């Protein structure tokens, strides 16, 4: 499996990453390795509730993380758009083996549900939580690039 952009948001990732709403956020959602669906299946999900209702399981022991540092860069020299997020660290990791993480857009952090959370990208991140700190780097140059 590789990093993928969900079909429903291709072309809109920049908009979501600029956090246009009053109570919105990007969130990192870890998925368990066991039962993780193929990329070709995952990219067709339009909301987190439907994705989790499939055979992929959220790794809830680690929990979701709110992504606080997002950088959107229009690169006119190379004719592309890069969006980067800060590395995310799970302190004293625990729970089931992780196979991937999702970067999702939550349009309402004060009262929304998983059915309103939009998966943006999926990234392979295979590790077994063992009590140590785990840092997720998605990837070093940018988590999303449009050319």
What are 87-141's pLDDT values in tens digits? 999 999 999 999 999 999 999 999 889 999 999 999 999 999 999 999 998 875 6
Q: At 13, phi and psi to the nearest 5?
A: -60, -40
> Two tokens at 120?
């943006």
| CA–CA–CA angle 33, 71, 143 (5° rounding) | 30
How does the average pLDDT of the chain come out, rounded? Answer: 91
Better pLDDT: 132 or 72: 132
pTM, full prediction: 0.92
Better pLDDT: 32 or 83: 32
Instruction: Inform me whether the pLDDT recorded for 79 exceeds 90.
Output: no
Residue whose C-alpha is closest to residue 105's, from 4, 43, 11, 15: 15
Tally helices (H) and strands (E) across the chain: 3, 10
Whether 62 and 131 have beta carbons less than 8 Å apart is answered as no
Quote the CA–CA distance of 8 and 57 in Å, as a whole number: 21
> Two tokens at 84?
């980067």
Residue whose C-alpha is closest to residue 135's, from 105, 110, 106, 101: 101
What are 52-62's pLDDT values in tens digits? 999 999 999 99
pLDDT at 82: 87
Mean predicted confidence (pLDDT) in 19-40: 95
pLDDT at 140: 59
């Amino acid at each position: 499996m590789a990093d993928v952009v969900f079909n429903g948001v291709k072309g809109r990732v920049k908009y979501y990453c600029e956090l246009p709403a009053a109570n919105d956020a990007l969130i990192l959602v870890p998925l368990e390795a066991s039962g993780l669906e193929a990329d070709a299946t995952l990219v067709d999900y339009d909301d987190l509730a439907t994705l989790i209702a499939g055979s992929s399981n959220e790794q809830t022991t680690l929990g979701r993380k709110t992504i606080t540092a997002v950088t959107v860069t229009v690169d006119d020299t190379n004719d592309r758009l890069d969006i980067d997020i800060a590395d995310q660290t799970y302190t004293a990791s625990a729970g089931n083996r992780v196979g991937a993480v999702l970067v999702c857009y939550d349009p309402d952090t004060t009262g929304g549900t998983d059915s309103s959370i939009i998966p943006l990208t999926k990234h392979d991140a295979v590790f077994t939580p063992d009590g140590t700190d785990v840092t997720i780097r998605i990837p070093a140059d940018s988590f999303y690039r449009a050319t």
